Amino acid sequence: MEYGLDLEYSFNEFLKGFGLSSEIAHIIWLPLPMLLVLVAAVVGVLVTVWLERKISAAAQQRIGPEYAGALGVLQPIADGLKLLVKEDIIPAKADGILFTAGPILVLVPVILSWLVVPFGQNLLISNVGIGIFLWIALSSIQPIGLLMSGYASNNKYSLLGGLRAAAQSISYEIPLALSVLAIVLMTNSLSTIDIVNQQSSAGILSWNIWRQPVGFIVFWICALAECERLPFDLPEAEEELVAGYQTEYAGMKFALFYLGSYINLILSALLVSILYLGGWGFPIPVELIANLLKLPINSPLIQVFTASIGIVMTVLKAYLLVFIAILLRWTTPRVRIDQLLDLGWKFLLPISLANLLITAGLKLAFPQFFGG
């Protein structure tokens, strides 16, 4: 699959034109995609916060933010600035070091996971071989940060919130990993690029959602639970725990939790679109359109067009899922802790195990449809 724009190669060639060695060119290249993805993630959070405010307002028949910019689009920036200039408080009896390290440990793994999110054939930071497994491994670090901030706050609500967060995260990680495993079984690879390419043969018909409908639903429920979104926001249940592990936090440290949860939501939506909805693939294969229009697939114009379509499709699918998540948050009630654990261990775990077994069986029976 040696087609598609390779920006890294062209950039390095461009720098070599100035007489730089390939190593220096590589070092100059390295921070660029990282910065770009970081900016994309933060802008994505701003958009999601605005969407959340507007959609929740619509769900409750309010107007929502209106005065900051047209339709209140500047409201999330105002929110961010407010958090930025607020006083940074560490409670007197809290544990200062752990209190500061907690939010960082929550945010960093989430941002690191963006390493494997592809927006096109060559449009990702690094096509590491373990791909999707890296995300599963990194997301398991988060509960330590939550436990840490819950403990360090020296507050019973915080501690309970942290413990709940860890319990929830551990229970839902297993069905999540099992449903990813079914996809990996069909792809024969852990790499996110391979997972998308495997779904690109026949446009919308070859997306994994048709072959893994159960896996799709299990993955989506587990992703929502991992993001601590309603109906699974028990760790910060306002009515019982004030705000869970966030209770004692203010200013920028609170902003880190806030950023972390929204970046995690967008990341989960992106991963659902990559694993089940064909990633950057257009519902009709681009090659088919190019052939119909009698255009060569490797011409620069078509390449640029394909790449932009890819980014637009990935973001569009992800935001469609974010929209569903927001609607769910403002329309469903919260589950109880025992219901949550029952759902995770007694329902999702057996179902995802069965799904894995059936996928393996179908792969043996119909290798042409389920990746031989």
Partner 1 sequence: MSIAITTQFICFIVLSLIVLIGAVGVVLLESIVYSAFLLGGVFMSVAGLYLLLNASFVAAAQVLVYVGAVNVLIIFAIMLVNKKEDLKPINDIKSRRIISTSICLTLLSLLIRVDLTNVWSLSNPQNSIREESTIRIGEHLFSDYLLPFEVASVLLLMAMIGAIVLARRDVMSKDISTGLPVDQELIEKSPEPLLTNKN
Tell me which residues touch partner 1 (CB under 8 A): 23, 27, 98, 128-130, 133-134, 136-138, 140-141, 143-144, 147-148, 151, 159, 162-163, 166-167, 170, 173, 190
Q: How far apart are CB 276 and partner 1 at their closest, in Å?
A: 22
Structure tokens at 365: 């029976």
Q: How far apart are CB 198 and partner 1 at their closest, in Å?
A: 17
Q: How far apart are CA 97 and CA 102, in angstroms?
A: 9
**Complex with partner 1: residue 22 or 298, whichever CB lies closer:** 22
Q: How far apart are CB 257 and partner 1 at their closest, in Å?
A: 18
Q: How far apart are CB 113 and partner 1 at their closest, in Å?
A: 12
**Are the C-beta atoms of 172 and 226 separated by less than 8 Å?**
yes
**Complex with partner 1: residue 90 or 289, whichever CB lies closer:** 90
**Complex with partner 1: residue 183 or 277, whichever CB lies closer:** 183
Structure tokens at 17: 């034109």
Which residue type does 188 have? N
Q: How far apart are CA 96 and CA 215, in angstroms?
A: 42
Residue of 268, 286, 284, 266 whose CA lies nearest to 276: 268
Structure tokens at 207: 């997306």
**Complex with partner 1: residue 169 or 261, whichever CB lies closer:** 169
Q: How far apart are CB 11 and partner 1 at their closest, in Å?
A: 17
Residue of 187, 174, 163 whose CA lies nearest to 139: 174
**Complex with partner 1: residue 97 or 304, whichever CB lies closer:** 97
**Complex with partner 1: residue 184 or 325, whichever CB lies closer:** 184
Q: How far apart are CB 312 and partner 1 at their closest, in Å?
A: 30
**Are the C-beta atoms of 117 and 192 separated by less than 8 Å?**
yes
Q: How far apart are CB 292 and partner 1 at their closest, in Å?
A: 37
Q: How far apart are CA 228 and CA 264, in angstroms?
A: 10
The pair phi, psi for residue 8, each rounded to 5°, is -60, -45
Residue of 114, 138, 142, 109 whose CA lies nearest to 126: 114
**Are the C-beta atoms of 65 and 53 separated by less than 8 Å?**
yes
**Complex with partner 1: residue 295 or 357, whichever CB lies closer:** 357
Q: How far apart are CB 190 and partner 1 at their closest, in Å?
A: 7
Structure tokens at 337: 């802790």
**Complex with partner 1: residue 24 or 46, whichever CB lies closer:** 24
DSSP symbols for 334-367: PPPHHHHHHIIIIIIHHHHHHHHHHHHHHHHH-T
